[in-house]
Amino acid sequence: MKLLGVGGSAREVGVSGRLLDACLGVAEKGGWETVKYLVAGRDIAGCRGCLACEKTGRCVLSGDEAWRFYEEVVPGTDAVLMVSPVYFMGVPWSLKRLVDRAQVLYSRRVRGGRYPERGFSALILVSGTAERGSLAGPRRVLRSFLRELGYPCEYEGWLDAYEARPEALPERVAGLSEDFGRFLGRKMGAGG
Ligand SMILES: Cc1cc2nc3c(=O)[nH]c(=O)nc-3n(C[C@H](O)[C@H](O)[C@H](O)COP(=O)(O)O)c2cc1C
């Protein structure tokens, strides 16, 4: 079973990246093959809004990094773990570029009438504050993105306000990743 871990932060090394690594480590111990994909530093072109995909079912930017993600990285994946920070009540621009390019998937679904069914997903958000309201936007965006990819979200986690207690971060990262591992274990037990 293959798990794709997507990191949404604009920086390669941060709290969400650390959490992603811990979760992938736990998954590997549970027998999963893992692939990590960080959006940071990648040359992902933003959607131009031309809506050509509505007519043709294809994106005019085909061949770039977002296209590679959809055509080469995702296929063959049984589950997706998305770990992303909250930026201004939303998702980082780095990740939003990738998300917006899923408009071509939306267009194909609307034409074909069905979501793809590829597997399941998990979403873990990281925020500097403990303000639950700041999760509403990222949750809607990323759950909808994961659904469009063909991996409905079945697990959610949240690492909040870590700056207030930095000394507790290692323990909290370990606790969240172990909880995610238990979720994966239940999915495996239930036949995936
Ligand atoms: C541009 C920007 C906007 C942010 N907006 C919010 C926010 O609206 N709410 C919040 O709780 N934290 C916010 N934060 C804090 C981040 O969620 C937090 O620092 C997170 O750890 C960043 O992830 P990273 O360490 O993986 O890069 C923001 C951080 C940045 C850089």
Rounded CA-CA distance 143/47 in Å is: 19
HSE-CB for 47 with a 13 A CA cutoff: 20
Ligand 1 atom showing the smallest separation from residue 83 Cα? 26
Which pLDDT score, from 0 to 100, does residue 163 have? 85
Q: Which residue is closest in CA terms to ligand 1's atom 19?
A: 128
CA-to-CA distance for 80 and 121, rounded, in angstroms?
5
Percent of the chain whose pLDDT exceeds 90: 91
- pLDDT tens for residues 57-91? 999 998 899 999 999 999 999 999 999 999 999 99
Given this model, what pLDDT does residue 67 score? 94
CATH number, domain with residue 26: 3.40.50.360
The answer to whether the beta carbons of residues 81 and 180 sit under 8 Å apart is yes
The confidence score (pLDDT) of residue 164 equals 86
- Ligand 1 pocket mutation, candidates 6, 88, 176, criterion most atoms within 8 A of CB: 88
Cα(87) to ligand 1 centroid in Å equals 5
Question: Which one of 11, 19, 87, 95 would you pick to mutate in the ligand 1 pocket, going by the greatest count of ligand atoms within 8 A of its CB?
Answer: 87
Strand partners, 38: 7
The total of structural domains in the chain comes to: 1
pLDDT band at 17 (very low <50, low <70, confident <90, very high): very high
Enter the pTM of the model: 0.96
Q: What are the pocket residues of ligand 1 if the criterion is a CB atom closer than 6 Å to any ligand atom?
A: 9, 11, 14-17, 85-89, 126-129, 131, 134
Give the separation between CA 147 and CA 155, rounded to whole angstroms. 13
Give the burial string for 15-25 (b: 16+ CB within 10 Å, else e). Answer: bbbbbbbbbbe
Query: What is the tens place of the pLDDT at every residue in 139-183?
Result: 999 999 999 999 999 999 999 988 888 999 999 999 999 999 999
Tell the residue number behind the tokens 């930026």, with chain if given.
Answer: 87
pLDDT at position 192 over 60:
no
Mean pLDDT of the chain: 95
91 alpha carbon – ligand 1 mean position (Å): 9
As a whole number of angstroms, the distance between CA 12 and CA 123 comes to 18
Cα 31 to averaged position of ligand 1 atoms, centre (Å): 32
Res 100 pLDDT > 80: yes
Residue 112: the pLDDT is: 81
Domain span holding position 153 = 2-189
Decide if 155 contacts 183 (C-beta within 8 A).
yes
Cβ within 8 Å of residue 117, ≥6 positions away: 150
Give the model confidence (pLDDT) of 38-60 as tens digits.
999 999 999 999 999 999 999 99
Quick one: CA torsion of 159, 161, 163, 167, rounded to 10 degrees?
-60
Q: Distance between CA 21 and CA 77 in Å, rounded?
A: 18
Share of the chain above pLDDT 70, in %: 99
